[in-house]
Structure 1
Amino acid sequence: MTTKEDRLRFLAEMGDVKRIKRPNKADVVVPRELTPGHLERQRAAIALPLKDTNPLTADMVEPLTAQDILSWKRPGVQNGVFRKLRLGYYPSEAKLDLHGMTVDEARRQVFGFVNDCMRYDLRTATIMHGKGERNRDGIAWLKSYLAKWLPELEPVLAFHTTQKHHGSTGAIYVMIRKSDREKQNNREAHDRRD
């Protein structure tokens, strides 16, 4: 709590302080003249379309329904490891929710999400795509595209529809491969010679 003495002491200290008098106007800088080189770079930037580095295609897919189960693994993934993924034994280290997204938005999100999982050495993730039960045609479009996209992504080792308590046929578990950095850490940890 401030006392009367504290306030008087403060006012005494601030006695010689003066208000800065500045006009209430923004400093407007006249833009510099554009050179022909600058204009040419501007035209070139507008003319060149942005390169899409996302390999996921939005072509036709096999239509899936709300109750279809997704299940896929790369050759070399051990059956026991895939079984644990399928049963939800691995804790999900990251989640992506695609509800309400368009196919193109989902395409960008899935690509970025899988790359982020690799970058941060996250091995298991959950993607919630929804069941698509409200679609008039009865097709679960995001689920259908996910089933096509995930095998196209090299870091994805396996995926499977989640257990009932994690979303059932409206979500999938995804297993991401180890990054080269993580593989090296494992080698160093297990190759120690005592």
Structure 2
Amino acid sequence: MTADDLESNDDAALFRAGIGEVRPLPKQNRIAPQPSCHKTFRTPPNATVEIADTLSDSCNEPPPEEFLGNGVSRMTLRKLRRNIWPIQDKLDLHGLHSDSARRSLQEFLLNAIEQKSRCVLVIHGKGLNSSSGEAVLKIRARHWLTQHPGVLAYCDATPKDGGSGAVLVLLRISL
């Protein structure tokens, strides 16, 4: 036995002595995990799927200010914030009702991905003229973006591009 083996055995014994006996929780004391409101799904290649109908309006959580898809590095989000990728297309959702805004966003994203656009700007507005006083399209557009399989990341646009009334969206090259 080497000195490292003895040291690791001593550490393990000390840890076990400090922790004491460990027993799993009984089934009735376990808390069920809360389902996430963000749906993740893959579109099979060469399949035409009506994704607009799968983008849900209902979610109990407020949308994140910034979004980073699974497997995408934090460095990618930093680059998006710094406008490393030029904005290749824009969509303005001002004045649209929720249903038509969702369909417009869906069509826009599908077209942008088909055209191999990498970075796009979605202008949803700040909700200043909303009768309820809240930015309905801002909240919903961000929820839809987190659910869309073609979206890798998004963040608030720079002040010159619309600030908190718009989002920069980084897209996959293909679905």
TM-score normalised over the length of structure 2: 0.66
1:121: Cα distance to partner? 0.6
For residue 169 of structure 2, give the secondary structure of its aligned residue in structure 1: strand
Per-residue displacement from partner, 1:10-54 (whole Å, max 9, x unpaired)? Answer: xxxxxxxxxxxxxxxxxxxxxxxxxxxxxxxxxxxxxxxxx9652
Structure 1: any 5+ residue segments left out of the alignment? 1-50, 181-194
Assess if the C-alpha contact under 8 Å between 1:131 and 1:169 holds in 2: yes
Match of 1:88 among 66, 83, 89: 83
Equivalent residue of 1:100, what SS?
Answer: coil
Query: 1:63–1:139: 8 Å Cα contact kept in structure 2?
Result: no
Cα 1:76–1:169 shift into 2, 3 Å: same
Partner deviation per Cα, 1:133-154 (whole Å, 9 max, x = no partner): 1223221000100121111110
- Cα distance in 1 for partners of 2:111, 2:75 equals 26
Name the amino acid aligned to 2:105.
V
Paired position in structure 2 for 1:188:
none
CA contact (8 A) 2:153 2:171 kept: yes
In the superposition, the TM-score normalised over structure 1's length comes to 0.59
110, 116, 123: which one aligns with 2:118: 123
Letter in 2 for 1:150: L
Unpaired stretches in structure 2, ≥5 consecutive residues = 1-48
Q: Could you tell me how far 1:113 is from its partner in structure 2?
A: 0.9
SS at match of 1:160: strand
Where do 1:100-139 residues align within 5 Å?
100-139=95-134
Could you tell me how far apart the structure 2 residues matched to 1:96 and 1:177 are? 17
Q: What secondary structure, in the 3-state scheme, does the structure 1 residue paired with 2:173 have?
A: coil
Where does 1:17-166 land on structure 2 (aligned, <5 Å)? 53-54=51-52, 55-59=54-58, 62=61, 70-166=65-161
Deviation at 1:93, TM superposition (A): 0.5
Matched with 2:164 is: 169
- Aligned residue-pair number: 126
Measured in 1, the distance between the counterparts of 2:154 and 2:169 equals 4
Does the CA contact (< 8 Å) of 2:92 and 2:122 recur in 1? yes
CA 1:61–1:115: 2 relative to 1, 3 Å: farther
SS at match of 2:58: coil
Separation of aligned partners in 2, 1:155 and 1:87: 21
Give the whole-Å Cα distance in 2 for the aligned partners of 1:168 and 1:108: 23
State the secondary structure of the residue aligned to 1:57: coil
CA shift in 2, pair 1:169/1:117, >3 Å:
same
Whole-Å separation in 2 of the counterparts to 1:93 and 1:84? 16
Mapped partners of 1:111, 1:154: distance in 2:
11
For 2:11, the equivalent position in structure 1 comes to: none
